[in-house]
Amino acid sequence: MGVLEYSGVTKRFGRHTALEGVSLEVLPGEVFGLLGPNGAGKTTLIRIGLDILRADEGEVTLFGEPPSHETLDRTAYLPEERGVYRRAKVHELLVYLGRLKGMKRPASREAADYWLERVGLSSVAKQRIESLSKGMTQKVQIAACLMSDPELCVLDEPFSGLDPINVALVTELIEERRAGGRTTVLSTHMMHQVEALCDRVALVHQGHLVVYGHLDEIRRRYSPNEVIVWTAMDLVALGVNATLHKTGGWRVELPPRETAAGYLNELVRNGVLIDRYEPIVARMDDIFVSLVSGGR
């Protein structure tokens, strides 16, 4: 059973169709990537899943039932449009937000202490939010999302405004959630983070679900049937259809229906001394650009 499931979801705003017939599920314990260009419908999909908006058609279930106060209490949401009480002090704000999630005051204070330490903000606990940098404010909001240990956490552009050190920190926090069996939906334009973190992904474009499935399978599906061969031998002189690659190896386009493993065996049988051999796997950046610019 999926933690969050959409079945034939359609949403219209006047004459504009933001989503049309979208069906997908987020599985327990995974990091699920929700991808798409600006205006694709990602935020609308998130808000419908969390009962902020209602679908015009289709069904949504959260933990196996329609969204309710009980199921929503098991979730947390970091929206792309940030919003905090800027005059509030950092620690007091976290305690307050913990109380809103149903935590007792002592537990909320303890969680606030822990998470400020975890994100490196203990030294600013008594400062007002308005005195913090954009990146520090971002980390306060991430701490607020995670302090109740939600079973499902939806993070919309969580890396925005963060330097590389704090991107690594947030990546570590998301990986820890997966290791602990918690589920995370990650909406981001940072495709290298998608490749590093996500188990499965969905790409939404112009309100339609364009690609959906396991990340590795999607990357293989959109990869060219090519390999890179690192060898001291001149493959062109041996009659191989190869060009030099920027890495110093030979880029080889395989014959139709040839597999990377089969071609490796053929090279070895023909006496080619191979230092390294690697199939070319498409990057998510390239897949994203291809699909949203009209390619399939």
In tens, the pLDDT along 263-289 reads: 999 999 999 999 999 999 999 999 999
Please report the DSSP string for 78-90 in residue order.
E-SS----TTSBH
CATH of the domain at 4: 3.40.50.300
Strand order in the sheet with 200-205: 75-78, 152-156, 183-187, 31-35, 200-205, 208-214
CATH of the domain at 259: 3.30.70
**How high does pLDDT run on average in the chain?**
93
Q: pLDDT (tens digit, 9 = 90+) per residue, 183-211?
A: 999 999 889 999 999 999 999 999 999 99
pLDDT at 295: 47
> What is the mean pLDDT of the segment spanning 147-171?
94
pLDDT at 239: 87
E strands within the chain? 4-13, 16-26, 31-35, 57-62, 75-78, 152-156, 183-187, 200-205, 208-214, 226-230, 242-244, 250-253, 276-279
Show which of 145, 166, 190 is a domain's final residue: 145
Q: pLDDT (tens digit, 9 = 90+) per residue, 213-249?
A: 999 999 999 999 999 999 999 999 988 889 999 999 9
**What are the structure tokens assigned to 171, written together?**
């990546």
Are 236 and 198 found together in one domain?
no
Are 1 and 65 found together in one domain?
yes
pLDDT at 81: 74
The percentage of residues in the chain with a pLDDT greater than 70, rounded to a whole number, is 99
| Number of domains observed in the structure of the chain | 3
Count other C-beta atoms under 10 Å from residue 79's C-beta: 17
Are 288 and 211 found together in one domain?
yes
Q: How many residues are there in the chain?
A: 296
Ramachandran angles phi, psi of 42, nearest 5°: -60, -50
pLDDT at 296: 46
Are 89 and 174 found together in one domain?
no
CA separation for the pair 22, 73 (Å, rounded):
25
pLDDT at 160: 86
For residue 118, is pLDDT > 80?
Answer: yes
Q: pLDDT (tens digit, 9 = 90+) per residue, 7-49?
A: 999 999 999 999 999 999 999 999 999 999 988 999 999 999 9
Are 124 and 259 found together in one domain?
no
Provide Rg for the chain, Cα atoms.
Answer: 23
Are 201 and 295 found together in one domain?
yes
Are 22 and 118 found together in one domain?
no
Are 17 and 93 found together in one domain?
no
CB distance 149 to 103 below 8 Å: no
pLDDT at 255: 87
Helical (H) or strand (E) element with 233? none
Are 88 and 218 found together in one domain?
no
Q: pLDDT (tens digit, 9 = 90+) per residue, 58-104?
A: 999 999 999 999 999 999 999 987 778 889 999 999 999 999 988 99
Are 193 and 296 found together in one domain?
yes
CA separation for the pair 107, 95 (Å, rounded):
9
Are 188 and 290 found together in one domain?
yes
Residue 275 structural domain = 224-280
Closest CA to 178 of 196, 190, 163: 196
Count the helix, strand and coil residues of the chain and give each as a percent rounded to the nearest 5. 35, 25, 40
Show which of 145, 165, 188 is a domain's final residue: 145
CA separation for the pair 215, 235 (Å, rounded):
33
Are 68 and 173 found together in one domain?
yes
CA separation for the pair 126, 93 (Å, rounded):
10
CA separation for the pair 132, 157 (Å, rounded):
19
Q: pTM of this prediction?
A: 0.88
pLDDT at 294: 66
CA separation for the pair 22, 11 (Å, rounded):
10
Q: pLDDT (tens digit, 9 = 90+) per residue, 126-145?
A: 999 999 998 999 999 999 99
